[in-house]
């Protein structure tokens, strides 16, 4: 396993946290996680992973409980109360009501990492988590924090890791969505790809490469054995697709 790299202990926040007090709990949990990431022991990686998951759950729970004037979404108190003791229900509630904020994120990734967290928490002593999965979940949490609360807390990612692939995939999805929205394409439409090709937004090769990238990315995020060669190839492919769609 590669040695853990240091993450900043002070999150890079581009909005006053005093104006975003509802995000302060999640930020503190991420700070706590970061303080353990660089210590490079099985115990510290386990504690960091659990803290990241706690931050993610806190973000979702707080966001869904905010008044519509703050969150921009209208969720009934009854729905929030019914999901209170179930992480999968809470996650589904977020995706049902705030999906437009979450382009590039995947609820199945979060649920997968939450299950890993449960195993680490309940089985405890002797268990650890691979560094790349730890940093990948940290990156997902950072993106979620920015999307829900406008607080930037994304640490720099190295060139060819699962963490960086998550960042690139998110960037690609957002760029693609913006291009399609500008062209007036309904992203839920069955023939969106055919129409996009017809309008010259992208080519068939782009669509096929995007499908390949999505497959690799999803497999690696959910895998129990990260393939460095596949990660390196996927990072290169993602960079190429971002360049193509940004033209």
pLDDT in tens, 170-217: 999 999 988 888 888 876 666 688 888 888 888 899 999 999 999 999
pLDDT reading at 231 higher than 60: yes
The answer to whether 144 touches 56, Cβ cutoff 8 Å, is yes
Local structure of 33: helix, strand or coil: helix
Whether 30 and 11 have beta carbons less than 8 Å apart is answered as: yes
Give the relative orientation of helices 107-123 and 87-98 as an angle to the nearest 10 degrees: 160
Per the CB < 8 A criterion, the answer to whether 135 and 163 are in contact is: yes
Residue 88 located in a structural domain = yes
**pLDDT higher than threshold 90 for residue 17:** no
Whether 7 shows a pLDDT value over 80: the answer reads: no
Does residue 167 sit within a domain? yes
C-alpha distances (whole Å) from 189 to each of 154, 185, 193, 212 are: 32, 8, 9, 21
Contacts of 77 (CB under 8 A, 6+ apart): none
Structural domain of 44: 17-149
- Per DSSP, the three-state class of 12 is coil
DSSP string of 56-119?
HHHHHHHHHHS-HHHHS----HHHHHHHTT-HHHHHHHHHHHHGGG-TT--HHHHHHHHHHHHH
CATH number of the domain to which 38 belongs: 1.20.120
Whether 11 is covered by a domain: the verdict is no
Q: Is residue 5 part of a domain?
A: no
Angle between helices 107-123 and 204-222 (to 10 degrees): 10
- 137 and 232 both lie in a single domain: no
Same domain, 43 and 112: yes
Is the per-residue pLDDT at 95 higher than 60?
yes
Q: How confident is the model at residue 91 (pLDDT cuts 50, 70, 90)?
A: very high
């Amino acid at each position: 396993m590669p040695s853990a790299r240091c993450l900043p202990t002070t999150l890079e926040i581009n909005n006053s946290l005093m104006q975003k007090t509802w995000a302060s709990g999640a930020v503190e949990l991420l700070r706590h996680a970061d303080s353990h990431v660089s210590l490079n022991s099985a115990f510290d990686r386990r504690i960091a992973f659990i803290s990241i998951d706690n931050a993610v759950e806190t973000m979702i729970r707080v966001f869904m409980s905010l008044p519509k004037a703050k969150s921009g979404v209208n969720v009934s108190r009854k729905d929030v109360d019914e999901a209170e003791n179930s992480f999968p229900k809470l996650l589904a509630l977020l995706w049902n009501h705030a999906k437009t904020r979450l382009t590039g994120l995947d609820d199945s990734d979060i649920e997968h990492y939450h299950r890993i967290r449960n195993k680490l928490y309940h089985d405890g002593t002797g268990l650890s988590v691979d560094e790349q999965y730890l940093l990948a979940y940290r990156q997902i949490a950072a993106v979620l924090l920015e999307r829900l609360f406008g607080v930037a807390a994304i640490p720099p990612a190295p060139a060819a890791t699962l963490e960086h692939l998550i960042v690139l995939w998110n960037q690609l999805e957002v760029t693609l969505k913006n291009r399609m929205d500008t062209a007036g394409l309904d992203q839920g439409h069955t023939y969106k790809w055919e129409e996009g090709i017809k309008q010259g937004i992208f080519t068939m090769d782009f669509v096929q490469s995007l499908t390949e990238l999505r497959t690799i990315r999803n497999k690696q995020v959910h895998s129990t054995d990260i393939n460095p060669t596949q990660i390196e190839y996927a990072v290169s492919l993602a960079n190429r697709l971002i360049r193509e769609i940004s033209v």
